[in-house]
Amino acid sequence: MFEYSITYVKKLTNSKGASLRGHCDVKPFRLSAELLIDYYSKGNDGLIAHEVEHYIQHLKTLTMLPFLYKLSKKFRLWAEIAAYKKQLEYSTDKEEDEFEFAVYLSRCYDLDISSLDAYNILTG
């Protein structure tokens, strides 16, 4: 009933053509998900945990994740912070990854947030 599959793809991009390392493909009103992982990130357990966290969020929001994520920057920030925190549990260099993820949060998610603010939220 609650299930996800992992598919490794050679070229993973978002709707704007930007490269991605992972994506949780969920649909409203559906309990399943396909986790798309960049082929060159195969074996990156932290990235898989990040995308599984988005799947869990999808279930917790009664399958409304796609709507909430798109419509609310506040929700999108909450969702990504939770997913990056899960990913950090697998980090071999937590300090470096915290900085890198803060930069991603400030540049890649249309959140209108600085890297410093993102870092403080992520590590706070």
Q: Give the per-residue pLDDT at 48.
A: 95
Q: With pLDDT > 90 as the criterion, what percentage of the chain qualifies? A: 84
Mean pLDDT of the chain: 93
Q: Read off the pLDDT band of 1 (50, 70, 90).
A: low
CB 54 within 8 A of CB 22: no
Q: In sequence order, what are the residues at sequence separation of 6 or more whose Cβ sits closer than 8 angstroms to the Cβ of residue 110?
A: 73, 76
According to DSSP, the β-strands at 32-38 and 3-9 are parallel
112: its two tokens: 């209108």
Domain residue spans in the chain?
3-123
| pLDDT higher than threshold 60 for residue 107 | yes
User: Helix 115-123 crosses helix 73-88 at what angle (to 10 degrees)?
Assistant: 60
Q: Give the per-residue pLDDT at 18.
A: 73
E strand or H helix at 57: helix 45-60
| Token pair 């966290």 in the structure block, residue | 53
Residues 55-77 pLDDT 10s:
999 999 999 999 999 999 999 99
